Amino acid sequence: MRSNRQRAFGLRTAAATVLAAAAALVVVGPAEAATIAVSTTADLERAVASAQSGDEIVLAATTYAPTKPLVLKGTVTLRGDGAAPGARISGAALPADAPDLLVVDDGAVATVRAISFTSTASRGAAFVVRGRLNLENAAVAGNAGNGLVVKPKGSTTIVNSTISANLAVGLVVHGSALLANATVSHNAGGGIAMNRVGDVTVKNVIVAANGKPGVATPDDCDGAIAASSASLATDSSCGVQLGNSDPRLGPLTLANGGTTPTRALGDGSPAIDAGGSDGCPATDQRGARRSTCDIGAYEAGASAPAVSPAGGSASTPGGGASEESGADQKNAAQPIVAAAGRGTIQLRGRRASFRVVGISTVSTRKGLVQYTDVGRIRLVRATITNASFGVAGRTATIRGTALDLYSRKRVSFLIVLRDRGKAGDEIRVVAGRYQARGTLTSGAITVTSVAV
């Protein structure tokens, strides 16, 4: 017969065994990586906020307009689902006090693939990179601010991607950047800026037509590129192999195929077959098979694979016309028209200075206005009520209200920007009873259009 002590010990042992088993059940290992499909802005914001390291977020082909910056943490992949007309993330709904579209946080490793980023305001950037960003088969275009800003501890690798038609600088590097088969072109504030501290390496890269035609600065590159291989620029500022060369780039468009906009290489482009084969990607930004490697994100003479529209059958560029459903029309490539200018104009015995940015999409008008004619008017804190653009005439008309710091009153204004290239850019300002018009004596104005 067991003693009371033995029975108690047995009970304690059994209880300990049960508790240990229960504890084993609640010990949870690392969460398995998940694939999260999203199709609305709310879906995307929730997925980014809750993403765990190793997760992949897959975006359906539509436009997303987050109301706050998307902050990527841990090791996360963000990619389009491959359907036409592609996934687009727009900064049009971001607040003025948080204008950056996507932030790669400290210590994060983000891979972003087959997505277009557009419509950020002038004070913001499409990307702010504090950790590490791998950007592939993407487009950063039609932003009023900088395309990408790489912070001192940040780094980025950009492959088969196009950074174009941004009203500020395409790529600002305080940390490090490696570009391979990328196209950085037609950015009004300059192509690549190293700010004397950035470390940039380029391979098979086009840096072209950045800055303002007829204006000495900004250039394709602001600062020295650390290492270059088989790359091309339209001026000598980058120090690449093919300097002062015209790559004969076409318009930025989705009509070239794929799910993100590209600039095609025209006939006779010196970029054709001039890329280095070592490390050249097997396909270009559109997914077209590369043969003898071309410089830049686009492979001339190669056909992009057929792309299926969301919920539809496959189509190829240049195919026959078809009727689109309401959803298809809503998700079609969105035209973005933007204007930016800053500088001075000569008036009678004095000068006035200005900075104006306007951006227009199908549903959004936004911008920035600062204008000073000392002793007469000083406009700040503007609210844009209307922005219209005549792209053929390269003219932007912006209306709204602003605070005049001299009178301490809000006044209605009308500003007309004319992008006349070498002929001399012009600005006209009407605010209350004040009127002025002049040709720029310094600075530049750019009016541009892109379908993203």
Write the pLDDT tens digit of every residue in 110-127.
999 999 999 898 889 999
- C-beta neighbour count of 89 within 10 angstroms: 24
Q: Is 4 helix (H, G, I), strand (E, B) or coil?
A: helix
What is the rounded CA–CA span in Å between residue 202 and residue 435?
Answer: 48
User: What local confidence, expressed as pLDDT, does residue 332 receive?
Assistant: 55
Question: Would the pLDDT of 393 be above 70?
Answer: no
Q: Which domain holds residue 358?
A: 335-451
Question: Would the pLDDT of 318 be above 70?
Answer: no
User: Same domain for 120 and 52?
Assistant: yes
User: Same domain for 45 and 146?
Assistant: yes
Position 234 confidence tier, pLDDT thresholds 50, 70, 90: very high
User: Same domain for 105 and 238?
Assistant: yes
Question: Where among 282, 303, 324 does a domain terminate?
Answer: 303
- 331 vs 296, residue with greater confidence: 296
User: Same domain for 114 and 175?
Assistant: yes
Question: In total, how many domains does the chain have?
Answer: 2
Asked whether residue 310 is assigned to any structural domain, the reply reads: no
Q: Which two tokens stand for residue 199?
A: 């470390």
Position 340 confidence tier, pLDDT thresholds 50, 70, 90: confident
Asked whether residue 234 is assigned to any structural domain, the reply reads: yes
User: Same domain for 230 and 98?
Assistant: yes
Q: Which residue has the tokens 């000083």?
A: 378
Q: Which two tokens stand for residue 310?
A: 């969301």
What is the rounded CA–CA span in Å between residue 88 and residue 102?
Answer: 12
User: Same domain for 354 and 396?
Assistant: yes
- 341 vs 427, residue with greater confidence: 427
User: What local confidence, expressed as pLDDT, does residue 21 receive?
Assistant: 47
Compute the average pLDDT of residues 13-30.
49
Asked whether residue 409 is assigned to any structural domain, the reply reads: yes
User: Same domain for 248 and 140?
Assistant: yes
- 306 vs 101, residue with greater confidence: 101
What is the rounded CA–CA span in Å between residue 291 and residue 272?
Answer: 11
Nearest one of 185, 97, 166, 123 to 339, comparing CA atoms: 166
What is the rounded CA–CA span in Å between residue 230 and residue 180?
Answer: 10
User: What local confidence, expressed as pLDDT, does residue 334 receive?
Assistant: 62
Asked whether residue 5 is assigned to any structural domain, the reply reads: no
User: Same domain for 167 and 86?
Assistant: yes
User: Same domain for 173 and 111?
Assistant: yes
Write the pLDDT tens digit of every residue in 67-97.
999 999 999 999 999 998 999 999 989 998 9
Q: Which two tokens stand for residue 359?
A: 């951006």
Any idea what the CATH number is for the domain that residue 72 is in?
2.160.20
Compute the average pLDDT of residues 185-210.
93
Yes or no: say if 139 and 117 are a contact pair by the CB < 8 Å rule.
Answer: yes
Nearest one of 288, 256, 183 to 452, comparing CA atoms: 256
Position 224 confidence tier, pLDDT thresholds 50, 70, 90: confident
What is the rounded CA–CA span in Å between residue 450 and residue 452?
Answer: 6
- Bridge partners for 335 per DSSP: 451
Asked whether residue 25 is assigned to any structural domain, the reply reads: no
Among 95-104, 251-260, 317-326, the minimum mean pLDDT is found in 317-326
User: Same domain for 160 and 109?
Assistant: yes
User: Same domain for 362 and 268?
Assistant: no
What is the rounded CA–CA span in Å between residue 54 and residue 109?
Answer: 10
User: Same domain for 293 and 362?
Assistant: no
Yes or no: say if 300 and 74 are a contact pair by the CB < 8 Å rule.
Answer: no
In the chain, what percentage of residues exceed pLDDT 70?
82
Asked whether residue 108 is assigned to any structural domain, the reply reads: yes
User: What local confidence, expressed as pLDDT, does residue 31 receive?
Assistant: 64
Question: Would the pLDDT of 311 be above 70?
Answer: no
Compute the average pLDDT of residues 224-253.
94
What is the rounded CA–CA span in Å between residue 194 and residue 201?
Answer: 11
Asked whether residue 151 is assigned to any structural domain, the reply reads: yes
Asked whether residue 148 is assigned to any structural domain, the reply reads: yes
Highest mean pLDDT among 11-20, 401-410, 437-446: 401-410
Question: Would the pLDDT of 295 be above 90?
Answer: yes
